[in-house]
Amino acid sequence: MQAIPPLAPAVIVNCAAMTAVDRCESEQEAAYRVNAAGPHNLALAARRCGAALLHVSTDYVFDGSKGGPYDELDPPNPLSVYGRSKLGGEERVREILPEHFVVRTGYVFGSGRDHLTRSLDRLRRGEEAGGITDRIGSPTYVVHLAERLLPLIRTGRFGTYHLAGSEAAPWFDVLRRARDIAGLAGSITPQSAVDLGLPAPRPANSARSGRAPVTAARKVLMVSAYPPRRCGVGSYAKASVERMREEGDHVVVLSPPDGEGDVRVPFGRGRPFLRAARMGPGFDLVQVQYQPSLYDRPGLSPSKVLTALSLLWLVRKRKQTEIVVHEAGRPKWWRPDHFLLHRVFARARLAFHTDAERRHLEKDWRVRTRFRLIDHAGGVRIATRLAREEARDRLSIGDHEILFLCAGFLHPDKAFERAVRAFPGPPGARLVVLGSVRDGEPGNARYARSLRDLCERTPGVALIEG
């Protein structure tokens, strides 16, 4: 843990493990030290230096009782010390570091020291090799596994993944096929798991269906306003949820009663954050769409302190929490709720749509953030795509007319007034400012009134509010 932070890595890949399944039964302390405490320490080191962690785990976290292949949403239930210690490593990584990839694989061959390679060497020499017939897995070529790790990292979509071969089979069938293809002289003896009498129990079926790297099987809890409430953040959240679900995520929405979320609670006094903290252990990501007026009414009240305190509790209790900052305002340091929010922004992982928004928050709130930038398009659903000519016709824009458009929420940081003051533009040009006040706090209301007056006084400029 001490050696890694000075190297300042962007990503740490952990392939280390005690994989001698039977030896783990007799050397339990060593198994947990390597397979659980090791990933725990790596996650702490990654958090300290701002790195992501890819942790390689195993198919042996399952008990093998499922009738078909296991996917990323199936609950684990390991049978052996090896499986339990590896599951412990997964849990420590998820608890400590939101920026993680847990990659489950198994039945890996091609390293030169694995069961399949040793068995093929015996067959090549004309000797006998044994193959188990009553345990099924997903044989995975180690080179193919390695080739898929970097593309997965580059997606930036943290969560749990199954990376394995596409075909489930017992080792007996794999050996027989390899022998026939290569024309090897040795013979293969069928074996059963019971006859081998191995110390550690293994799952009878650990075949996996992997969804990565194209999609991610994340469990996501989204805390936000939600339609049919007329709210820009709610519409953004709905589009984000639809996109996540299309990409394979399992998303649960926690919304106020006037939204159509899967779970509905009143949004005052920090209630949504307390509920999210209770629900959090079942999710890879808890994402809060943050804009102050969603969770509190304007003005100073004890409920704002409760809201800020509850959000801080969520961030401290569920380290997989991410706050998407739509608006934060400027702090008033005498206010206790703003003091608590300062602690939230310093501790949580934040997401911004632009780096300028991130810089403003860090300057205003005097804090260094852990953050990522997300694409505006992630919260936009395009209902209809029009050709340029058709779009101009619908908007009544002449063939040679030039239209400048500024769209967004009416807020001082948007600086729409600078565009208005820069007019008039080229001959025949128009400027349209399209927006609405998202948060009715006094500063935003004053800005909207001044912008409205400025647009009315400026030729060729129109303000459309809605």
List the catalytic residues. Answer: 82
d(CA 14, CA 58): 13
- Among 82, 109, 93, 76, CA closest to 37: 93
**Cα 229 from chain centre:** 26
d(CA 372, CA 354): 9
Largest pairwise CA distance in the chain: 94
Q: Contact 67/207 with Cβ under 8 angstroms?
A: no
Q: Contact 342/305 with Cβ under 8 angstroms?
A: no
Cα dist. 158→104, 140, 213, 254, 366 in Å?
14, 22, 11, 21, 28
Cα dist. 288→209, 223, 284, 325 in Å?
30, 5, 13, 8
d(CA 265, CA 283): 18
SS3 26: helix
SS3 303: helix
